[in-house]
Every structure is written in C-alpha cells, then in structure tokens.
Amino acid sequence: MAKDPVRVLVTGAAGQIGYALVPMIARGIMLGADQPVILHMLDIPPAAEALNGVKMELIDAAFPLLKGVVATTDAVEGCTGVNVAVMVGGFPRKEGMERKDVMSKNVSIYKSQAAALEKHAAPNCKVLVVANPANTNALILKEFAPSIPEKNITCLTRLDHNRALGQVSERLSVPVSDVKNVIIWGNHSSTQYPDVNHATVKTSSGDKPVRELVKNDEWLNGEFITTVQQRGAAIIKARKLSSALSAASSACDHIRDWVLGTPEGTFVSMGVYSDGSYNVPAGLIYSFPVTCRNGEWTIVQGLPIDEVSRKKMDLTAEELKEEKDLAYSCLS
C-alpha cells in the first residue's frame, strides 16, 4: 500500500541551509525511501522571489516522492496541516550586535511562528529548531504553542554529535559508521560538552571504548572538545558562509531517527525538554543522549558521570539558564 504523504515545513527555506535541506527531504533522506512528502516552504517577503526559484528547481528535479510544494511568505499557509516542522529561519547575529538584540529579534520570530503552528499544524506535529540560539528559540516556541506536547519540541545538536563522530573517525582512521555513542551535553553553543566517555568503535574483536583506542587523554580532553565546539566558526572562516550542507544533513538524521527509531545499542544527541535527568535543571531545552522508538525519544539513563564531565555539564546548563532569563526579559 502506498503511504499517505507527510507534510514537512521548512522555514527560511530560501536560505543556504534550506536550499541544501529541501532536496534531501524530497529524496527520502529524512523520512525514508518509500515515504511521499509534501514540502511547505516558508520565508520572509524579501525572499519571496528566491523561494519561488527553489520551488521551480524542486519541480525541475522531478523527485518521485515529492507530491506537492507550497512556497509562501504567509505563516498560516506555511503551517497548515504540517506533520513535521524544521525551523531554520531566524535572525542571525550581525557584527556589533549585542546578544540581547539578537535574542529579542528571535523571540518575536519564534513567538509568531509558534502561534501559527499552535493553531494550524497537524496534531502531534514534531518540531525541530535549527536557527540559533536553537535551544532557547525552541523554549520560546514551546511557551507559545502550549497544545504541542513538550516532547515534540526539540533542537538540533545532531550536527555537533556528527562533528564529534567525524573527529574520532579521522583521528583513528576508521569509517565514521564504526563510531557510536558520543554525547553532546547542553547548549548548541561553544559551551556544549562533547563527551566520548561512553563512545565505542567497532573493531574485528568487538566494540572497544574510544578512550582505549585513541590512547591520548590530552587530545580527547582538550583539542577534540574545542574543535567540536568551534567547528561552526572554523567553517565560516574557510567557506565565508556558515555550515549549510552538514546542518541540513544532520537535521535529516535527527528527524529520521526520531520518526523511524535509533539502531539497537546506539544513542544520539537531541536538544530536548529537561525533566531533571542527570541533575540538569528541569525546564531547559538541553542536549542529552537519547534513544528513539515508535516516534518517541527517551533520555538514556544511568550513565556514570565523572567530576570533569559534571563541571562541563553544569557550565553549559548555566549558560542556558542565562539565555532563558534573557529571552524572558525580551518578552516583557
């Protein structure tokens, strides 16, 4: 039996990440090779012409799974009936801008988009926030879309997770598919904590801990962490543009694992609403290790946390509390 199409919203769809992301969705990379999709692309009025150009390209690519395209600058039309929403649009920090200025711009964007999703999205719509500050934008969205279950509002730290896998794979000269269970704790910012203490690599004699194979704690506790934390900035420096291809790919990974499930014995990193696990303050959107089944994520419990990790996890939680306070001060 042919499946019914799933409606997927991409905001900021005419931008760099959107342009990389929509063909991946139309090809079945996000939801599976047998899942038809209808793409909803939303952007701001100044981008309307570019957005129409993207729509023309989607039509020209003749994707077999693509059953329709809605390209619009109207949030209500964009959000109507969507099952999955990937929130890429946001206000980027420009030179000389204070954090508060960026935050207040994004608070107003996410407040209005939340209202449109709240009223018009399909019940049980799954939301992934990509635009920075991603964790706090997701929190604002949750605040103003109260009927969307809190478990359905997430933010993207899979890009950081994939970056960490990539660094280990390069260091050990092994295929990245043989590395698993790195963790990104906390904020999608330079305070995030990439943790390899529970990560393993597939070898001919079974799975071995990353620390045992790398045999260099100085690198793992130092350069590895800062490389992952600052990878986005390094790509901007090299490309003169931010990381669009890898962000789009990891957004697909995030949704695919959430909807279709994580492989047995594998966990991934997702920014989710904290329930107090690992002594992370409840009420923050914080990146945890999760497993997914039947369209639901569950925080991996009971992992031992050493003193060094604890400090780093608390530091990034502290930053998220400050961001939350700043965002709420922009609301009043």
Active site members: 188
Query: Is 132 labeled as ligand-binding?
Result: yes
Q: How far apart are CA 214 and CA 209, in angstroms?
A: 9
Q: How far apart are CA 166 and CA 164, in angstroms?
A: 5
Query: Is 256 labeled as ligand-binding?
Result: no
Query: Is 13 labeled as ligand-binding?
Result: yes
Cα→Cα distances 271→14, 231, 238, 320, Å: 25, 18, 27, 12
Query: Is 93 labeled as ligand-binding?
Result: yes
Query: Is 327 labeled as ligand-binding?
Result: no
Spatial neighbors of 74 by CB under 8 A, at least 6 apart, are: 42
Query: Is 152 labeled as ligand-binding?
Result: no
Query: Is 7 labeled as ligand-binding?
Result: no
Handedness of CA 49, 107, 146, 129 (dihedral sign): positive
Query: Is 43 labeled as ligand-binding?
Result: yes
Query: Is 268 labeled as ligand-binding?
Result: no
Query: Is 148 labeled as ligand-binding?
Result: no
Query: Is 17 labeled as ligand-binding?
Result: yes
Query: Is 18 labeled as ligand-binding?
Result: yes
Query: Is 16 labeled as ligand-binding?
Result: yes
Query: Is 15 labeled as ligand-binding?
Result: yes
Contact between residue 192 and residue 229 where contact means Cβ atoms under 8 Å apart: yes
Cα→Cα distances 15→40, 53, 159, 179, Å: 14, 12, 18, 32
CA torsion, ordered 83, 88, 47, 55, to nearest 10 deg: -50
- Please state the separation of Cα 255 from the chain's center in Å: 9
Query: Is 130 labeled as ligand-binding?
Result: yes
Q: How far apart are CA 236 and CA 224, in angstroms?
A: 19
Q: How far apart are CA 313 and CA 118, in angstroms?
A: 32
Handedness of CA 115, 120, 124, 125 (dihedral sign): negative
Annotated binding-site positions for substrate? 93, 99, 132, 163
Annotated binding-site positions? 12-18, 43, 93, 99, 106, 130-132, 163
Annotated binding-site positions for NAD(+)? 12-18, 43, 106, 130-132
